[in-house]
Structure 1
Amino acid sequence: MCEQQRDVFRLSHDKLSVQEVADAVNSASCGAVSMFIGTTREDMVDSKKVVGLEYEAYEPMAQSEFSRLCDDIRARWPNVKHVCIHHRLGWVKVGEASVVMAISSPHRSDGQQAIQQAISQLKASVPIWKKEVYDDQDSSWKENQECCWSSHAVQTKPAV
């Protein structure tokens, strides 16, 4: 009996559960679960300390872009079984997870390569925006370097 592929994408104002994401991709037919956990880090920007991030999203388009992301992953790595991505919205303080993603595959190399591509593609194409909030209550919207429209765009080769 062949197990159906499963894709889960969730935007949430609640704290993210690493275990819930891992459980969503668990499969008896897979020997590897590759994960990425992106946390809000304490940075210094122009002598101001980052105390948290505020996330917003265009949710209908985010769901559409997530489906495209999964299609792209499976086109490159046909052995990928399940994909789960949970992303926070709203306030995320330093040390908390902003994004948790997991991909299951029969062997680790496919999953590890796919997870790297998935986070890069998510940051480049899924309409989720973040605002840094500083210890002086000032704030600044940030653009992802992966976005093609970014003034700081980083040209990266797609993972193979």
Structure 2
Amino acid sequence: MPAHVTLAPPTDSDTWLGLTDETLPVAQAVDWAVLPSCGAVVLFSGTARDHAEGRDCVERLEYEAYDRYVVPKLEEIAGQMRQRWSALGRIVLLHRVGLVRLGESSVVVVASSPHRPEAFAAARFGIDTLKATVPIWKREVWADGEFWGLEAQHLTKLDS
């Protein structure tokens, strides 16, 4: 089990971060992000699909992470989101490790804001930056083999 298991939303923060080997609470993340001051809630849920670039018949995904660095990197991303879009209400950045079956969510990013342009931009930044900087690696498993995803990431520092 990962070092950081955070499936319950925080009661003392407007930022919910986590790494877990359990099913991600997609609906709960959206519900938690709703605030009276926010008219927009944007969700990105990355789900396991049955194909990858140049390859059909993907059976499942398996994720590994450098556990002790994941939540600090997620904190850094959330901080950058708040710095760029100061009106953000709540932020959710959750990722799975271990086995992820087809149709299951491997990553959830939610951003709420008073207006939709900021919520969309923040959510897009959140998922793009997470994929580019957080030390989580994906293995695609097929009936006749497996392959580590081409987008395996290295530890990098976010630019301010």
Other-structure match for 2:37: 29
Relative to structure 1, the CA distance from residue 27 to residue 140 in structure 2 (aligned partners, 3 Å threshold; closer, same or farther) is same
SS in 2 for 1:23: helix
Q: What amino acid is the match of 1:141?
A: W
Given the alignment of the two structures, is residue 143 of structure 1 paired with residue 140 of structure 2, yes or no?
no
- Which of these two proteins has the greater Rg computed from alpha carbons? 1
Other-structure match for 1:39: 47
Any residues of structure 2 matched to 1:92-107 within 5 Å, and which? 92-107=100-115
Q: Quote the offset at 1:69 in angstroms.
A: 0.3
Given the alignment of the two structures, is residue 128 of structure 1 paired with residue 136 of structure 2, yes or no?
yes
Q: Deviations over 1:107-140 (max 9, x none)?
A: 111000110110000001111111010112x111
Unpaired runs of 5+ residues, structure 1, are 150-157
SS in 1 for 2:57: strand
From 120, 127, 142, give the equivalent of 1:112: 120
SS in 2 for 1:84: strand
Q: What TM-score results when the alignment is normalised by the length of structure 1?
A: 0.82
CA contact (8 A) 1:130 1:142 kept: yes
Q: What is the distance in 1 between the residues matched to 2:151 and 2:91?
A: 22
Q: What is the distance in 2 between the residues matched to 1:109 and 1:45?
A: 31
Unpaired runs of 5+ residues, structure 2, are 1-11
Among the aligned pairs, what percent are the same residue?
35
Q: What is the distance in 2 between the residues matched to 1:65 and 1:124?
A: 11
Other-structure match for 2:3: none
Other-structure match for 1:153: none
Q: After TM superposition, what 4+ stretches of structure 1 lie above 3 angstroms from structure 2?
A: 44-48
Q: Quote the offset at 1:48 in angstroms.
A: 5.2
From 16, 19, 26, give the equivalent of 2:24: 16
CA contact (8 A) 1:21 1:86 kept: no
Q: What TM-score results when the alignment is normalised by the length of structure 2?
A: 0.82
Relative to structure 1, the CA distance from residue 46 to residue 115 in structure 2 (aligned partners, 3 Å threshold; closer, same or farther) is closer
Q: Deviations over 1:86-106 (max 9, x none)?
A: 211100111111111211111
Given the alignment of the two structures, is residue 70 of structure 1 paired with residue 85 of structure 2, yes or no?
no
